[in-house]
Amino acid sequence: MADAERAATRRPGRAWLALAAALTIAALFAIDWRFDEWAGAAGRARAFERLRGLGGAAVAPDFSAETLRLGWRLSLDTLAIAAWGTLLGALGGFLLAIPATRALVLGVEPPARGVRRLRHLALRALLELARLLLDALRGVPDFAWAVLISTLPGPGPITGVCAIALSVAGILGKIYSEHWDALAQRRLAPGLATGAGRIGMLAYLVQPLCARASLSYTLMRAECAVRNASVIGAVGGGGLGGQMLEEFSYGNDRGAVTLLLFLVAVTASADLATNWLRLKLREDPNHPRPAHTLSREASRARRVGVLAGIAAGALLAGLWLRGALANAIDELDRIEWGFIGEHFGQLLRPDLSAAALGSALRGIPLPLALGWLGTLLAVLGAALLAYPASTAMQWEPERFTGERVAPARRAARALLLGAARALALLLRAVPEAAWALLFAALLRAGPLPALAALALHSCGVLARVYSESVDDVPYRALEPAAAGGRLGAFLYGALPAARSDWTTYAFFQLESNVRTGVLLGILGLGGIGNSFHTAFVEARMPLAGTYLFAMVLLTVLLDRTSRWLKIAGSGVARRA
């Protein structure tokens, strides 16, 4: 009987492994792998010459005063773009999340009959419309938004702010609404019973209960916004990316490497700052904070201080961008809005011919395949980094193994911990688009640079959250598996406890990587993103509209499928 139960438990896991293997094989065949550059001696010679040039530039970057001033100015542009893009996106996402939250719109009571039934249907339509708008905002990558918006105020920082704000609004609006809907119905029922309105419910019950999680995700999105702002200049969004791409295209490798160093410094600093703030918000079961209650006056003073800090930062970023804003307003004053309305209105009348639909369908497999393979490689790499990057396994194992660690061994473990975390930080500090540009310089544009970019960046992202999941496992839960030492505690204690979180993070990264696969296509690496960019540049607006709708539909289908897989996968994890 026990054998039968164990076999029944293993079957779902084997089915998921078989599905993953089948998807991997399908993804490998879906990509048109190009190795032309390496097939002949001349191509290999060019690639190695390019590699030597980049290596020499990395050893001796251009540290002239002019280049350093340029890098500093573009770095401040990047931070200002990210700050305003995140602020506007968070505000927009918050407002859109209200009508997208089922509990706030429909309440907790079942629909009645008659007139109240009609009211329920009208509110349900509002709910679905708000969710569809959020799907559309995040379904179009920020690079695509930048391509669309740059035709109005022109290329520059304001284009980057608007593009990032629209994308952030779609992502955070979805996250906020899901957090608010995740509240148990019993916690909403008392407020509704008192006759509290929806705004009152949101202000005094829903948002306070979800504030910590919402703020943590907003900080993560701000970190991503800094990375995106650093490269969105490649399509006219300002910041470091456009100038770095220009230096590469002109063969000025030393200048390009210098700007890349500025880019890494900006994104790594943002990563470390937001991660420090997120750690302050996180509940750590192994390092509980002493309980203390703030007075009402102290709590109000803290909130005022936080809001004042946000306002001051926004003001400084706005002052830095005031010249770009003035130029954008001048450009908008010269626009013939009737022509623009007709021109962009064609995007809403997509080309539904068989040829256009077939072209859109043929462009979808590439970002799907790249997203799947990139996530798979990243999961494997992050799993390998999770052990050396874990504080529990390298710095505090004596708390659950009972071992005594000699000072020399503790120092060696500290070095390993620092090296693993530094590697993960470097991998995620370089945005996917920057990795892709670097590899494309060596391998030529194609799917291989895009895959390498997705895998390396995602590995750095997942390594952080995987090691955090391991560190969140209570040490007392690791003690039964610690007979085999640290590695045994990791394999048989931490991994089973963190597996559900790892699966959730992997699915989340898969969604992100598919969207990024579309984004990299806009840079000329193929797929539906490349098709959209080509059609838009050639002013074939109905065809570009077809590709845009296909991007949104892809995001919606991926979101719904991922949500179902997360539920099914967590059920398998619980049974296992």
Amino acid at 133: L
Tokens 């994308």, located at residue: 167
Q: DSSP alpha helices (H): ranges in 35-156?
A: 36-39, 41-59, 65-97, 102-105, 115-139, 142-149
| Sign of the torsion formed by the C-alpha atoms of 75, 77, 79 and 82 | negative
pLDDT per residue of the chain (576 residues) written in tens, 0 to 9: 445 445 544 555 677 788 888 989 998 888 887 766 666 677 677 777 777 887 888 888 989 999 999 999 999 999 999 999 999 999 999 999 988 888 778 765 555 565 577 877 888 888 889 988 998 888 888 888 888 888 888 888 999 999 999 999 999 998 888 888 776 455 665 655 555 566 676 766 777 777 777 887 888 888 889 988 988 888 877 888 888 888 888 888 888 899 999 999 999 999 888 888 877 766 667 767 665 665 667 767 776 777 788 888 889 999 999 998 888 888 888 888 887 888 788 888 899 999 999 999 988 899 999 999 999 999 999 999 999 999 999 988 888 888 888 889 899 999 999 999 999 999 999 998 888 888 887 777 678 888 999 999 999 999 999 999 999 888 888 888 888 788 888 999 999 999 888 988 898 898 889 888 888 888 777 788 889 989 988 889 999 999 989 988 888 887 777 666 654 544 434 433
| Sign of the torsion formed by the C-alpha atoms of 95, 97, 99 and 104 | negative
| Sign of the torsion formed by the C-alpha atoms of 78, 465, 397 and 473 | positive
CB 213 within 8 A of CB 279: no
CB 458 within 8 A of CB 506: no
Residue 8 has what pLDDT? 47
Amino acid at 188: L
Residue 378 has what pLDDT? 96
Sequence-ordered list of residues with C-beta below 8 angstroms from that of 414, at least 6 positions apart, any chain? 394, 395
Residue 576 has what pLDDT? 39
Degrees, nearest 5: CA angle 326-331-337: 130
Query: Where is 249: in which H helix or E strand?
Result: helix 240-249
In CATH terms, 74-284+311-335 corresponds, of 1.10.3720.10, 1.10.260.40, 3.40.50.1000, 3.90.190.20, to 1.10.3720.10
CA quadruple 559, 562, 563, 564: dihedral, nearest 10: 130
Residue 566 has what pLDDT? 55
| Alpha-carbon 15 to chain mean position | 29
- Cα–Cα distance measured from residue 253 to residue 235, given in angstroms and rounded to the nearest whole number: 20
CB 57 within 8 A of CB 438: no
Residue 572 has what pLDDT? 39
Residue 245 has what pLDDT? 83
- Cα–Cα distance measured from residue 380 to residue 369, given in angstroms and rounded to the nearest whole number: 17
Considering only CA atoms, which of 383, 396, 389 is closest in space to residue 415? 389
Q: Half-sphere exposure (CA, 13 Å, Cβ side) for 275? A: 14
Q: Enter the pTM of the model.
A: 0.85
| Sign of the torsion formed by the C-alpha atoms of 97, 100, 101 and 106 | positive
Residue 115 in 3-state DSSP?
Answer: helix
Sequence-ordered list of residues with C-beta below 8 angstroms from that of 244, at least 6 positions apart, any chain? 231, 233, 234, 256, 259, 260, 263, 434, 437
| Alpha-carbon 60 to chain mean position | 33
Cβ atoms < 10 Å from Cβ of 151: 16
Tokens 């390019």, located at residue: 50
Residue 549 in 3-state DSSP?
Answer: helix
CB 434 within 8 A of CB 247: no
